[in-house]
Structure 1
Amino acid sequence: MTGYRHPFPLRWNDNDQYGHMNNTVYYEAMDTAVNTWMIRHAGLEVSGPVIGVARASSCEFLASASFPEVLEVDVAVARLGGTSITWDLAILRRGAPDRSGALARGTFTHVFVGREDRRPVPVPEPIRSAVTER
């Protein structure tokens, strides 16, 4: 998987009382970017028999942003396992040439499970193929 950036326009209510993007919104941006990519580019069926559930997430806050900025989430894969994917994420100002000026760096681990029994299953083949495409 290479070069996916997801736009994330900030909303008025994304600002906290200090006038900058609230820390929870960084997680929302990362989660939205990853899931949008899986649905649009890797064939994830949100009502299908296999779903991705969050196992872990982290975020290192490096700089602030505020409404009305439009940000981008740069999505890459840190680790592809048998039943999970750990995403490597960077939140950037729109048009940033690379990750060096990231506002935040984060990770998000999805474990794929059966919708009904919530037991781990292999990463679905369409997602695995899309992740490993060069």
Structure 2
Amino acid sequence: MTTTTAAAARVFRVRVPFSTRWNDNDQYGHLNNAVYYEAMDTAVNSWMIRAAGLDPHGDGPIAFCAASSCEFRASASFPDALEVGIGVERLGTSSVAWALGILRDGEHEPIATGRFVHVFVDAASRRPTAVPASVRAAIEEHLLG
């Protein structure tokens, strides 16, 4: 099963709402592709801050995006109410591969599926380090359990 197929079949246990804005529409009248990436990145990072206590401004580990992709299945436009579904494809020693979906509020079939790979690095040296224990615990409890 491919990543995007896996994300499309996934029931997302965590869903983060995001409001579309007038300026998110492009010249064709639908959300610009960059908006999907922004929504996914914001949802994952805000979830890690909220659920796992990640402090992106502290001196502990931080998450760098090493890879990302998005596959578009249907369009959306302002003022659609959307959500980002968050799942985990793989939890490694120093990285997390997130399986993501952009969904209409209350629906289960994603209009876009995405994947982000975050590598955790030491804030000072920028060298890979272990996924913080709090992030690992939150993933195991809320996304893998």
TM-score range, shorter chain: over 0.9
**How many residues of Structure 1 are paired with residues of Structure 2 in the alignment?**
130
> What amino acid maps onto 1:124 in structure 2?
P
Aligned partner of 2:53 in structure 1 is 43
State the identity %: 58
Give the Cα–Cα distance (whole angstroms) in 2 for the partners of residues 118 and 46 of structure 1. Answer: 13
Choose which of 121, 126, 129 in structure 1 pairs with 2:134. Answer: 126
1:91 matched to 2:102? The reply is yes
Q: CA deviation at 1:50?
A: 1.1
Give the Cα–Cα distance (whole angstroms) in 2 for the partners of residues 94 and 132 of structure 1. Answer: 25
Give per-residue Cα distances to partners, 1:79-113, cap 9 Å, x unaligned. 000000000000000011x2xx2110010010000
Q: TM-score, normalised by structure 1?
A: 0.94
* Structure 2 unmatched ranges of 5 or more: 1-11
Q: TM-score, normalised by structure 2?
A: 0.87
1:22 matched to 2:49? The reply is no
2:16 aligned counterpart, secondary structure: strand
> What amino acid maps onto 1:13 in structure 2?
N
Give the Cα–Cα distance (whole angstroms) in 1 for the partners of residues 110 and 57 of structure 2. Answer: 34
Higher helix share: 2
Higher strand share: 1
Shift >4 Å, 4+ stretches: none
Aligned partner of 2:67 in structure 1 is 56
Aligned partner of 1:6 in structure 2 is 16
Q: CA deviation at 1:46?
A: 1.4
Give the Cα–Cα distance (whole angstroms) in 2 for the partners of residues 45 and 15 of structure 1. Answer: 32
* Structure 1 unmatched ranges of 5 or more: none
Give the Cα–Cα distance (whole angstroms) in 2 for the partners of residues 105 and 75 of structure 1. Answer: 10
User: Aligned-residue CA RMSD in angstroms?
Assistant: 0.9
1:33 aligned counterpart, secondary structure: helix
